[in-house]
Amino acid sequence: MDKNIISFNSVITTSVFALSFLLIGIPLWWKTTEVYRYPIPYEECQSLLSEIIRHTIPVKLVIEDRTVQQGLLWEELLNYSDEKSKEYSQPVITFDWSMSSTSEEEQELIQKYQNITDLDFALYLNDKISGGATLHKKEYGQPEIIILNQNYSKEPKFTIGRGRHGYIINNEGFKGLAQSIDILARKITQVNRLQKLYTPASSYGGDKKPDKDRMRYLRSSKKFDMTFSLIVPEPQVLEAHWDIENAVNSYLKDVLKELELISTVNVKSQVLYMTSLPISTHSSMGDKGEEFILHSDHLPSLINPIEAKLGSDTSVHPNLNFVLYIPSREQTPLQIYDNKGKPLPSNAFLLPQWGGFMIYNCHIPANASLPHPVLLDSHTFMEIFLSQFRLLLGLAETDGLSSDTFQVLSGPVIRNWEMDFLLRKNAQEQLSASISSLSSLSQLLQMIGNIVIRDDVGQKIHFALSSTKESLKLLAQGDLLGGFLTAQSAFVFSDEAFFDPSLLALLYFPEDQKYAIYIPLFLPISLPVITSMSHLWKYWRHVHTKDKPKVD
């Protein structure tokens, strides 16, 4: 027998070794080194980009004016709404109308008061005290418009109340009244502002043209901090006292309780001594004597020196700063002047998405003993800070809504109809953010195959996807509260999934590093296998030749 031909036992041994390597070793290595990826519905995540946010707003009409032809008004109102709905803009906003005449109880309540202001105050108190037990309690996102006869009051034609009520003094036919109802409904629900502040998911990263209102308000967040800071540069001259705890309880407690549905606000306060600002001023003689003028173009330079001392970076949540600055004795009184050279009555300014800054002048008598004690007036600075806080939340100035034919009744810091606006604004903003995160993440996971997708991350993606779809459905059905809560859940889970650190575990592990690891491991094993395969080939060839019959 040829010495180069291995024996049958060696053939069996080599075959078992080769088959074990090929059938067990390689599959086991492949299975144990593969990247674990939780199944993700990529197509569903991408399809969200084509979804359109639709707000359906239930509006109830209560007709007190008996001259109104309700059948003709109803038909005209539907036709007018259909015409307006053809004006396509995102998000799509439609009204779900309902109409009824005043009941005996409602009629009695309307006749009891001789003007809209008192009537609305009664309805507002009824809602607040009853807690939803009576006829007039309105749910989130469900305004009511009361049509009054033209002799009811001499007030403006349109009135927006403190709660969710709107009022129209009717002095026209059914066609004009239908248009008036649509105008008032759009004012109460802030349709134009909702569409103005809306950012589609496709341009959520910042492709949309910057806008003053859009850049000003704080973006949606489950929690944020609010810090009140008092800056006293000369404590040896002025001993300033502010009762900030009672001020917050008096002016902000009810507001923050209302906002708990949207965000949890953590209020903090601090006093900074010996902190001076590089204020460039010049003196001038005004109506009240000598004053120091601070021009508006110098205002941004005031924030940078104190930014590090405010402690905004000590929290992981977004922070709103409200700074009350007492000028030094040499620069008192300090007055801010606008670009037109006129003094600002508030002596304060607003920084978009940052907070507010107010200059509080304290007069010190010439013969006063130092440090001179001063108790700061809480009403003065809290009134300014609250107006700035409204703008930072995204609410419009009510003065811009008022006109000769329109009035907005004074009321709480955040009226009920404004709360509805905040819910819709935040819902559509969170939906856009969630859709953008889910579509971007699914695209990234498809492109890069070696990203690990753990079970918890995959489940967050699935939950965010289902919550997004549910929120779109609820908003389209007119369920504002349910739509907002599910949008908030979608936003939180999509954000957590997108920024989960486990997604980066193998993201930057290059392919050549794999070869550097596996070649030293498999090469020593592979060479004997390859050599044994050549011997096996010789053996089977020899056996085949031996069994073949010879031909003479």
**What per-residue confidence (pLDDT) applies to 32?**
64
Cα separation, 346 vs 387, in Å, equals: 11
Task: For residue 48, give the amino acid letter.
Answer: L
How far, rounded to the nearest angstrom, does the alpha carbon of residue 422 sit from its chain's CA centroid? Answer: 9
The highest-confidence range among 87-91, 282-286, 495-499, by mean pLDDT, is: 495-499
Q: What pairs with residue 406 in β-bridges?
A: 158
More confident residue, 398 or 191: 191
Q: How many CA atoms lie within 13 A of 373 on its CB side?
A: 2
The structure tokens listed for 490 are: 């979608």
The pLDDT value recorded for residue 506 is 60
Q: Inform me whether the pLDDT recorded for 18 exceeds 70.
A: yes
407 has a pLDDT exceeding 80? yes
Instruction: Tell me the CB-side half-sphere exposure of residue 63, using CA atoms within 13 A.
Output: 17
Q: pLDDT per residue over 477-490, tens digit each?
A: 999 999 999 999 99
Task: Give the pLDDT of residue 210.
Answer: 59
Q: What is the pLDDT of residue 530?
A: 74
Beta strands in 289-438 (DSSP E): 289-295, 319-325, 334-337, 348-351, 355-359, 372-375, 406-408
Location of structure tokens 């901090």: 225
Query: How far is it, in rounded angstroms, from Cα 518 to Cα 509?
Result: 14
Rg (CA), the chain: 36
Q: Is the pLDDT of residue 294 over 70?
A: yes
User: Of 7-11, 278-282, 389-393, which gets the smallest average pLDDT?
Assistant: 7-11
Tokens of 362: 């304290």
Bigger pLDDT: 370 vs 459: 459
Residue-wise pLDDT tens digits, 28-80: 766 666 678 889 999 999 999 999 999 999 999 999 988 888 999 999 999 88
Residue 286: pLDDT over 70? no
What tokens does 73 get? 């008004």
What is the model's pLDDT at position 496? 92
User: 381: pLDDT confidence band, cut at 50, 70 and 90?
Assistant: very high
For 114-167, the pLDDT digits (tens) are 889 989 988 888 776 655 444 444 588 899 999 999 888 888 899 999 989 999
Burial degree of 269 (CB within 10 A; 0-12, 13-18, 19+): middle
Report the pLDDT value the prediction gives residue 134, as an integer from 0 to 100.
41
Can you read off the two tokens belonging to residue 525?
């094993």
Q: Single out the residue of 322, 305, 307, 388 nearest to residue 359, CA to CA.
A: 322
3-class DSSP assignment, residue 82: helix
287 exposed, middle or buried (CB, 10 Å; 0-12, 13-18, 19+)? exposed
- CB-based contact 461:45 (threshold 8 Å): yes
Question: In the predicted model, is pLDDT for residue 341 greater than 90?
Answer: no
pLDDT digits (tens, 9 = 90+) for 151-166: 888 888 999 999 899 9
List, in sequence order, every residue forming a beta bridge with 268; answer none if it has no partner: 227
Residues 490-526: pLDDT tens digits? 999 999 999 988 887 665 566 666 667 777 777 777 7
Closest CA to 474 of 450, 490, 460: 490
What is the pLDDT averaged over residues 407-414?
Answer: 90
Residue 176's φ and ψ, nearest 5 degrees, are -65, -35
Kindly report, residue by residue over 176-203, the tens digit of the pLDDT.
Answer: 999 999 999 999 999 999 998 888 877 6
Weakest mean pLDDT among 142-156, 254-268, 281-295, 303-317: 281-295
**Average of per-residue pLDDT values in the chain:** 84
For the residues 76-88, what does the mean pLDDT come to? 81
Distance between CA atoms of residues 69 and 198, nearest Å: 38
* Rounded-to-integer distance, Cα 336 and Cα 244, Å: 24
Which SS3 state, helix, strand or coil, does residue 146 take?
strand
Shortest CA distance to 493 belongs to which of 518, 456, 439, 522?
Answer: 456
For 498, residues 6+ apart whose C-beta sits below 8 A from its C-beta are 437, 440, 441
Asked, as a colleague might, if the bond just before 156 is cis with ω within 30 of 0, I would say no
Bridge partners, 361 (sequence order): none
